[in-house]
Structure 1
Amino acid sequence: LTPIDYKTLGKHAAGSIGFISNIMYLTEAGYFDSASHEKWLLHTWSLSVEWQFYIIYPLAIIALRKIYTENSVKKLLIFFTGTGFALCVFATYKWPSAAYYLLPTRAWEMMIGGLAYLYPLNPKEKNKKAIEWLGITSIAASYLFINKNTPWPGYLSILPALGSYLIIQANRENSIITGNLAFQKIGSWSYSIYLWHWPLVVAILYFHLSNNYSYLGLALSLLLGFMSYKYIEKNKLIKKTNTIKDFLKAKQTQIALAILAIAIVILTNNGFTNRFNYINNIETLASNRDSSEKYYRQNLMKAFSNNGESFKDSFLCTLDGGRQKTNTAIE
């Protein structure tokens, strides 16, 4: 990685460890901007939102329960879920980036799963299949009506959310869709697959690999997801944290702190710019405000020469097959 990309990776790693990466990315380019496709940890924004939700949501329920009856709290959760969806739709068109990244417009998607638990439909066996297929149809409709130009989350986000809700409510253990071995295994590995898939996508784009590598990336996502599930997720690293000492002795804590420390070192060293001597030379030239155009060109050529590159070749445009004249390219 170039120093600036390495520094950015360190910054994003620190944000991911602290579960604030969604807020961090909000201040940068939008999720679907081209620059976002070079951010190795962009996908951790959703993990940050989930952690924020699972910390705040239980505390909010406990606080409400001290004021209202259990039945009233359950009704309030229906209200908050509906209000959250309405806010999501409004904010998508008013503040699209904030609507995409922040908890207030995303919480309803997780709360609707809670409603499936609080208000189980308990359908009769003969109706379960119909409910399940209604849910599958809703999810399938997402592929028909949602594309890269669709404002998101927006009102169409109800399709995958409602579809998942209905499939959960159907609760068909013998379903050919959710009950087959392949889908259940992928479901078990899905969290780890999610963690691995995006860095592989970025690698293909960052290193300008052909589209054929997408198939390799898909296979690697499944393989690495399985390995992460088996050797990390299923590995019970910690049994109890009754004291601060127990917490600090936990391997998860030590790994997180180690990553945070590495990220800080990368940030404080500006991505280790000394790995690229010519970048230092160019930065020095750029900071010299009194440099004449002639002086700048001469020393810029020297900077590239010191790095073993040809200044003229470096500035030739390759989009036209090298037919561009050198003098024109330099100017």
Structure 2
Amino acid sequence: MEFRQDINGLRALAVLVVVLFHFGLAPVSGGFAGVDVFFVISGYLMTGIVFSRMEQGRFSLPDFWLARGRRILPALLAVCATLLLLGWFRLSPMDYKMLGKHALYSVTFLSNFIYQGESGYFDAASQDKWLLHTWSLSVEWQFYMLYPLWLLGARAVSRHPRAPVWAVWAAFAASLAASAVWTTRAPTQAYFQLAFRAWELLAGALVFLHAPRLQASPGQRSALALAGLAAIVCSCLHFTHDTPWPGMAALLPVGGAALVIAAARHGLWLTGNPVAQALGRWSYSIYLWHWPVWAALAYYGAHRQPAAIAAGIAASVVLGMLSFRLVEQPAARLLNRSGTRPRVALALSAACAAVLLPAGLVYVLHGVEQRLSPKVLAIAKEDGNRFKDRVACEFHPGAADPLPRCVLGDRKDVRLIVWGDSHASAVVTAVAEAVPHGVAYYGYQSCPTATGVHYRGWDNTCVAFNEAVLADMRALPPQAPVLIVNRFASYVFGKDAGNPEPVPGVVMDDEPQLSTRPELEAAYKRRLIGMLCRVRQTGREVFVLESLPEMTVYVPNHLARALLRGERPDDVKVSMADYRARNAVVGAWLQEARTTCGVRLLDPTPYLCADGWCGGSRRLQPLYFDTNHLSERGNRVLLPLFRQAFGGLGARKLAAQPAATGQGG
């Protein structure tokens, strides 16, 4: 297709708003819509290539796919290789291993799947994912793989000359409808998956198929183009990360981009000026480099400093320009000179292998821990210092054993039952050390110990799990008390201690219509206290470990990073005031349960907090393996608490329970 100045200028606008958004410029709160503009452009251009060659009878799938690889891979491989090289010297094992994994998925164009599983742009750890932005390249590549097959299939099914056009319309309508539904039902999946993004690329396809019929004067075309640009700018200034996306809201920037392309107004200054044209030429490389630059600022704690932000934006443009001139253009010339299809494919395959092999080794070797000093390595390895049998002992939906009951210690003499979410697994070994005999353990991560409640985003197997635990405990000695451990505050305010969610993260299984904070808090309180009292009514003594302090950083990784940067870090800590503020609501509920049904509360703060601060590390030795779970080193700090509460359980022999089933650990 011939070069179009207006589309090149549209690329400039798209990359500009994405960069400004990611660098945190508040007015551009919806700059993520720039990615949607890129999708429309790609759909338009790819449809032009495929349809024109189909009409000429010379379309070749291998040639089409190879051409896309020649365009996309060189600059992407250069970014991945550079990050892997620099990461050797500056990244902790956890960060470096994650970079290796993400490089593997990025080069194979599957990164949208891995990032869907890890959440995305709006989660707290997005700044640690150096290649997060490659999700959109993966979506585009998957479109390139499937789109021509869809069109060829339409031609094979029907000989009507308009069959491929109908196929485009059908796919567009289906994808748009699915996006509208899934954006509210499964927002992360809708954000990252091609099925819910394809309509944006197909909007560009429809422009190619129908815009040539547009009869308009130059003035009318200018008006259309300006209206389209205004729609895009409005999207970027109006939408925020709270806007359900993509869904129907994305129609505004997608429609705006479609209008600009359909108008085909080549002389418009806004898109045709020299700056816009330069940024448009460099846009792909700018997009590739801007996120690693921002991630580097975040890594060094400079991502909120105005001077650093300005320097980062400038560096993104300069690196994009250099990448265009030193990578994209030379690679294109070299591959064009390579001649035959097999030689080009071999060259690209060799280049991919040169990145995939070291990336794979970095991942398999757990971030190549051997490159670190003993001090840094000892700190970094604390992220793996956790309950070794947690996978075997915890409930997993679909597992062969529907309710694993692990017993730590003497299986024939269970003196205590520990029940809860992942915070229970973080302390259970310390509890077992404090109890002279056996400790039965029931665990299911992100499962609140409450009647008829499950965590938002998870299925309702939590409800069945809790009921099954109540039933299974009947086989254990009736005198054995129960210790319940939950990350209570996360169910009320979300998992990010520094960024509370607007509504509680719990769903009532039989009241799914509840949606406001007062409704959800009242229902969760009622069901939490109800569960505690249900257990108490079985005749067992019930203990509840009050909320553990939550840090705002991954403790081992934070300390290891600081040492790798040559800094002298302070111990990680949060203020007692912040801890009390986050846990005041649930704390009051637990006090009510104590009054209502005699639940006994265990307060961890005298052991983890002092002088107004709660520590995540002591003398640079991590007590947590992430932000909120005590490590096997950290949970030993609570041994005096558990010994005081449960040490006397060994003084009397409990009634023997029937033969246990489903035991592990």
Establish whether TM, by shorter chain, passes 0.5. Answer: yes
Find the aligned partners of 2:200 and 2:613 in 1 and give their Cα distance. Answer: 57
Which residue of 159, 180, 199 corresponds with 2:273?
180
Which residue of 298, 315, 319 corresponds with 2:571?
315
SS at match of 1:119: helix
Contact 1:21 1:44 in 2 (8 A): yes
Find the aligned partners of 1:241 and 1:62 in 2 and give their Cα distance. Answer: 27
Question: Cα 1:238–1:138, aligned 2, differ >3 Å: closer, same or farther?
Answer: same
1:94 aligns with 2:350: no
Find the aligned partners of 1:36 and 1:44 in 2 and give their Cα distance. Answer: 13
Q: How does 1:245-284 map to 2 (within 5 A)?
A: 247-248=345-346, 250=347, 252-274=348-370, 275-278=372-375, 280-281=377-378, 283=381
Find the aligned partners of 2:264 and 2:344 in 1 and give their Cα distance. Answer: 39
Tell me the residue number matched to 1:234.
329
Which residue of 197, 201, 205 corresponds with 1:110?
201
Contact 2:112 2:193 in 1 (8 A): yes
After superposition, the C-alpha distances for 1:75-110 in whole angstroms (9 at most, x for unaligned) are: 231232122111111111111111011110011111
Q: Which moved more, 1:138-147 or 1:20-29?
A: 138-147
Tell me the residue number matched to 2:48.
none
Q: What is the CA distance between 1:243 and its match in structure 2?
A: 5.9
User: What is the RMSD computed on CA atoms of the aligned residues?
Assistant: 2.9
Find the aligned partners of 1:166 and 1:37 in 2 and give their Cα distance. Answer: 34
Find the aligned partners of 2:194 and 2:365 in 1 and give their Cα distance. Answer: 32
SS at match of 1:172: coil
SS at match of 1:34: coil
Q: Which moved more, 1:31-40 or 1:232-241?
A: 232-241
Which residue of 244, 264, 283 corresponds with 1:171?
264
Q: What is the CA distance between 1:145 and its match in structure 2?
A: 2.9
Q: What is the CA distance between 1:278 and its match in structure 2?
A: 3.5
Tell me the residue number matched to 2:220.
127
Q: How does 1:2-21 map to 2 (within 5 A)?
A: 2-21=92-111
Tell me the residue number matched to 1:301.
none
1:47 aligns with 2:47: no
Find the aligned partners of 2:121 and 2:358 in 1 and give their Cα distance. Answer: 26
Contact 1:96 1:151 in 2 (8 A): yes
1:27 aligns with 2:125: no
Aligned partner letter, 1:215: A
Tell me the residue number matched to 1:211.
305
Give the TM-score of the pair, scaled to structure 1. Answer: 0.85
Tell me the residue number matched to 1:224.
319
Contact 2:575 2:614 in 1 (8 A): no
Tell me the residue number matched to 1:77.
168
Question: Cα 1:315–1:186, aligned 2, differ >3 Å: closer, same or farther?
Answer: closer
Find the aligned partners of 2:387 and 2:222 in 1 and give their Cα distance. Answer: 72
Q: What is the CA distance between 1:188 and its match in structure 2?
A: 1.2
Percent identity (aligned): 34
Tell me the residue number matched to 1:297.
none
Q: What is the CA distance between 1:315 and its match in structure 2?
A: 3.2
1:194 aligns with 2:291: no
Find the aligned partners of 2:270 and 2:377 in 1 and give their Cα distance. Answer: 57
Give the TM-score of the pair, scaled to structure 2. Answer: 0.44
Q: Which moved more, 1:62-71 or 1:100-109?
A: 62-71
Find the aligned partners of 1:278 and 1:287 in 2 and give their Cα distance. Answer: 19
Contact 1:29 1:35 in 2 (8 A): no
Q: What is the CA distance between 1:253 and its match in structure 2?
A: 2.8
After superposition, the C-alpha distances for 1:37-95 in whole angstroms (9 at most, x for unaligned) are: 21000000000110110111011101111122221321231232122111111111111
Contact 1:30 1:36 in 2 (8 A): yes
Gaps of 5+ in 1: 294-303, 308-312
Find the aligned partners of 1:31 and 1:328 in 2 and give their Cα distance. Answer: 29
Contact 2:228 2:255 in 1 (8 A): yes
Aligned partner letter, 1:31: Y
Q: What is the CA distance between 1:170 and its match in structure 2?
A: 0.7
Q: What is the CA distance between 1:328 and its match in structure 2?
A: 6.9
Structure with higher helix content: 1
Q: Larger relative CO (CA 8 A, sep 6+): 1 or 2?
A: 1
After superposition, the C-alpha distances for 1:192-245 in whole angstroms (9 at most, x for unaligned) are: 110000001111112101422110111011111111111221122313564645
Contact 1:241 1:247 in 2 (8 A): no
Tell me the residue number matched to 2:458.
none
Find the aligned partners of 1:184 and 1:15 in 2 and give their Cα distance. Answer: 32
Aligned partner letter, 2:155: R
Q: What is the CA distance between 1:140 and its match in structure 2?
A: 2.0
Q: Which moved more, 1:266-275 or 1:7-16?
A: 266-275
Question: Cα 1:327–1:144, aligned 2, differ >3 Å: closer, same or farther?
Answer: closer
Find the aligned partners of 1:220 and 1:194 in 2 and give their Cα distance. Answer: 12
Contact 2:573 2:614 in 1 (8 A): no
Contact 1:173 1:179 in 2 (8 A): yes
Question: Cα 1:319–1:72, aligned 2, differ >3 Å: closer, same or farther?
Answer: same
Question: Cα 1:138–1:6, aligned 2, differ >3 Å: closer, same or farther?
Answer: same
Aligned partner letter, 1:229: F
1:153 aligns with 2:246: yes
Q: Which moved more, 1:32-41 or 1:121-130?
A: 121-130
Contact 2:111 2:138 in 1 (8 A): yes
Question: Cα 1:77–1:276, aligned 2, differ >3 Å: closer, same or farther?
Answer: same
After superposition, the C-alpha distances for 1:291-316 in whole angstroms (9 at most, x for unaligned) are: 989xxxxxxxxxx9xx9xxxxx8536
Moved over 3 A (4+): 240-246, 278-293, 313-320, 324-331
SS at match of 1:234: helix
Contact 1:123 1:170 in 2 (8 A): no
After superposition, the C-alpha distances for 1:9-29 in whole angstroms (9 at most, x for unaligned) are: 000001111110111111113
Contact 1:273 1:279 in 2 (8 A): no
SS at match of 2:271: coil
Question: Cα 1:27–1:288, aligned 2, differ >3 Å: closer, same or farther?
Answer: closer
Q: What is the CA distance between 1:34 and its match in structure 2?
A: 1.0
Instruction: Figure out how many residues of one structure are paired with residues of the other and give that number.
Output: 310
After superposition, the C-alpha distances for 1:127-175 in whole angstroms (9 at most, x for unaligned) are: 1122112211211220343111111112111111110100001111110
Structure with higher strand content: 2
Q: Which moved more, 1:68-77 or 1:169-178?
A: 68-77
